[in-house]
């Protein structure tokens, strides 16, 4: 699982039939210091998230499983909205 911040929405009036009804959100990956960690991704929203919210998302095979539709062409799915989180130990990251 990964953490991110929702920074926008994607509107696609034409898309794969297995994606009809799903909300697509642009999610910026973040680390425990809430710093960005890569390029934004488009994720299917399974949790009812909105712009500005911190979220938990999954990628790869877990993402398509989150939709409960194995035929859905999903690479990333938002599976939770973060209310708060605490880091118990100082995190230095990679050198």
Instruction: Give the predicted TM-score (pTM) of the model.
Output: 0.89
Expressed as residue numbers, the domain containing 76 is: 2-81
What confidence category does residue 95 fall into, taking pLDDT thresholds of 50, 70 and 90? very low
**Domain tally, the chain:** 1
Closest CA to 79 of 90, 71, 54: 54
Residue 57 within any structural domain of the chain: yes
CATH number at residue 49: 2.40.50.220
Residue 50 is assigned to a structural domain of this protein: yes
Q: How many residues does this entry show for the chain?
A: 95
93 domain-assigned: no
Question: What is the pLDDT at residue 7?
Answer: 98
Residue 89 lies in a domain: no
The model's confidence at residue 94, banded by pLDDT at 50, 70 and 90, is low
For 23-79, the pLDDT digits (tens) are: 999 999 999 999 999 999 999 999 999 999 999 999 998 998 898 888 889 999 999
């Amino acid at each position: 699982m990964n953490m991110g911040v929702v920074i926008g929405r994607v509107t696609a009036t034409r898309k794969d039939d297995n994606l009809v009804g799903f909300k697509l959100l642009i999610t910026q990956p973040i680390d425990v210091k809430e710093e960005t960690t890569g390029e934004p991704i488009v994720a299917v929203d399974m949790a009812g998230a909105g712009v500005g919210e911190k979220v938990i998302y999954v990628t790869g095979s877990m993402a398509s499983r989150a939709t409960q539709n194995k035929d859905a062409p999903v690479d990333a799915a938002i599976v939770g909205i973060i209310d708060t989180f605490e880091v118990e130990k100082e995190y230095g990251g990679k050198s």
